[in-house]
Homo-oligomer: A and B are copies of this chain.
């Protein structure tokens, strides 16, 4: 092969930089020299009909030969090189959406074409992490209005796949999150599918939480199905619970979420665009959004919930989606377990109608399934709840769930963690408040969701009496190191569970539900 000034042989670096493509070149490489590349230069690599824009890292010792370019795992996957692969390298032109990005950063309102340019560049990996972060930050707070939210949602749908289920209602549900253990989805899907409706559920893995629905479901059945496999499951059983990341539904959302995760902030506008773009891309016609409200949930006040609800409803209407928004109690975790396997155990316990099944998880699942069944054309308000309860109590929902697991590749009973340790109450009294965020943090420090069996098992609830020295919760971990790490944090943050003595006054926080329908 010839060796002109812009060509290098590709090798696999074997380095996982998550989704960000990185290319490694030696400092003395002739391409670096002739093109004037330095560390962090944005480099366009082309090979045949494939191309990737990657960030350059410069190798300064002899670990890399000067006549090759090494690709990180993400870049290697995009380029998919054959045997004896070569690529040409050049400076990446600034992406066309740079103008729109600058406009948003400087406070201007964007239109559909602007968001489309941004989302196109994002999914084509033409935006660096720095540019994606600037976009996410520029849209945070109240910086996306309703028109922009609608335009962004449409743009996110436009740059990904969209499933066509033919005619008729296609149901879906989503929880905006922030409430550890709130794992109603597998139960709701089982009930709704048992009622004879289609509910092809795509779920996410954990973003900032100790478990996403996909993580929990994966403990019990395979979830990495492509769109064709997912379609076969739904055609056979009416419902599925699969990981959405494999389906390329709203892939722009996956990229934005990667940035939002370490920052741990997003905005109503981005939240609505994220949730509804997934629903529309998945081909849903009727969806329900569960909005837990509580001081340490994602939505902290009734005012914030109203604002989010209004934006969800107006955006759903613009995209032709029938939406029900259900406000629920967000004051404390739901169910006992927090972490993939512990939550899967609770889900199965409810489906199996076991005596010790967590009542709160059961009631929430029934409320959501009932509201979804009510939303379908032809049903009357209030009848859905009765039907949902009948399907759960009769075992029809359990049978449907196991059939769905079978169709997805086979059911597995959840495993338990090898190391557990209780955290004890440091005084006697009643539980006043529970800090959802810190409970989630303990579960994450224990290893969830990376270690499926890790997490927190917590049976006390707000209002319960506890005695000093009694266990408040158990930490479950795969390794002693993680167990000690989580335990150390839990004991250093005793106020995660506020225990009030008899003399303490103070309100028990809001925990009644309410609902609203479009």
A14–B26 Cα gap in the complex (Å)? 10
Q: Is A474 an interface residue (CB 8 A)?
A: no
Q: Is the CB of B133 within 8 A of A16?
A: no
A107–B265 Cα gap in the complex (Å)? 13
Q: Is the CB of A106 within 8 A of B140?
A: yes
Shortest Cβ distance from A131 into B: residue: B263
- One of B58, B59, B450 near A36 (C-beta < 8 A): B450
Q: Is A1 an interface residue (CB 8 A)?
A: no
Chain A residues numbered 70-92 whose CB sits less than 8 Å from any CB in chain B: 72-73, 90-91
Chain A residues numbered 241-261 whose CB sits less than 8 Å from any CB in chain B: 259
> B residues within 8 A CB of A265?
102, 105-106
A36–B14 Cα gap in the complex (Å)? 20
Q: Is the CB of B141 within 8 A of A263?
A: no
Interface residues on A, range: 35 or more
Q: Is the CB of B141 within 8 A of A14?
A: no
Q: Is the CB of A40 within 8 A of B482?
A: no
A6–B482 Cα gap in the complex (Å)? 11
Most chain B beta carbons < 10 A, residue from A35, A91, A447: A35
Chain A residues numbered 17-53 whose CB sits less than 8 Å from any CB in chain B: 17-18, 24, 27, 33-36, 38-40, 42
A259–B36 Cα gap in the complex (Å)? 20
> B residues within 8 A CB of A107?
141-142
Q: Is the CB of B141 within 8 A of A57?
A: no
Q: Is the CB of B141 within 8 A of A15?
A: no
> B residues within 8 A CB of A58?
15-16
> B residues within 8 A CB of A259?
130
Chain A residues numbered 363-398 whose CB sits less than 8 Å from any CB in chain B: none
Against B, the Cβ 8 Å flags (1 = close, 0 = not) of A127-150 are: 011110110111011100000000
Q: Is the CB of A481 within 8 A of B134?
A: no
Whether A130 touches B57, Cβ cut-off 8 Å, given contacts A107-B141, A137-B105, is no
CB distance from A505 to the nearest CB of B (A): 28
A6–B484 Cα gap in the complex (Å)? 12
Q: Is the CB of B131 within 8 A of A35?
A: no
Whether A33 touches B479, Cβ cut-off 8 Å, given contacts A61-B14, A263-B130, is yes
- Copies of this chain, complex-wide, total 2
Most chain B beta carbons < 10 A, residue from A12, A98, A134, A485: A134
Q: Is the CB of A105 within 8 A of B36?
A: no
Whether A263 touches B451, Cβ cut-off 8 Å, given contacts A15-B24, A17-B39, is no
Shortest Cβ distance from A74 into B: residue: B39
> B residues within 8 A CB of A105?
137, 140-141, 263, 265
Q: Is A262 an interface residue (CB 8 A)?
A: yes
Q: Is the CB of A35 within 8 A of B141?
A: no
> B residues within 8 A CB of A141?
105-107
> B residues within 8 A CB of A302?
none
> B residues within 8 A CB of A40?
17-18, 262
CB distance from A254 to the nearest CB of B (A): 14
Whether A6 touches B137, Cβ cut-off 8 Å, given contacts A14-B63, A142-B107, A451-B36, is no
Whether A130 touches B35, Cβ cut-off 8 Å, given contacts A58-B15, A58-B16, A59-B14, is no
Q: Is A516 an interface residue (CB 8 A)?
A: no
Q: Is A124 an interface residue (CB 8 A)?
A: no
Q: Is A344 an interface residue (CB 8 A)?
A: no
- One of B12, B13, B61, B262 near A12 (C-beta < 8 A): B61
Q: Is the CB of B131 within 8 A of A262?
A: yes
A140–B140 Cα gap in the complex (Å)? 13
Chain A residues numbered 219-268 whose CB sits less than 8 Å from any CB in chain B: 259, 262-265
Q: Is A445 an interface residue (CB 8 A)?
A: yes
Q: Is A508 an interface residue (CB 8 A)?
A: no
- Give me 8 A-to-B residue pairs in the complex whose CB atoms sit less than 8 angstroms apart, sorted by A's number: A5-B480, A14-B61, A33-B479, A36-B451, A63-B63, A105-B137, A131-B262, A133-B137
Q: Which residues of A contact B (CB under 8 A)?
A: 5-6, 12-18, 24, 27, 33-36, 38-40, 42, 57-63, 72-73, 90-91, 98, 102, 105-107, 128-131, 133-134, 136-138, 140-142, 259, 262-265, 445, 447, 450-451, 479-482, 485
8 closest cross-chain pairs (CB), A and B: A14-B61, A34-B481, A133-B133, A137-B137, A16-B58, A18-B39, A16-B39, A106-B141
In the complex, besides A17-B39, A18-B40, 9 extra interface pairs with C-beta distance below 8 angstroms are A5-B479, A14-B61, A14-B63, A16-B59, A16-B60, A38-B450, A106-B140, A128-B262, A129-B133
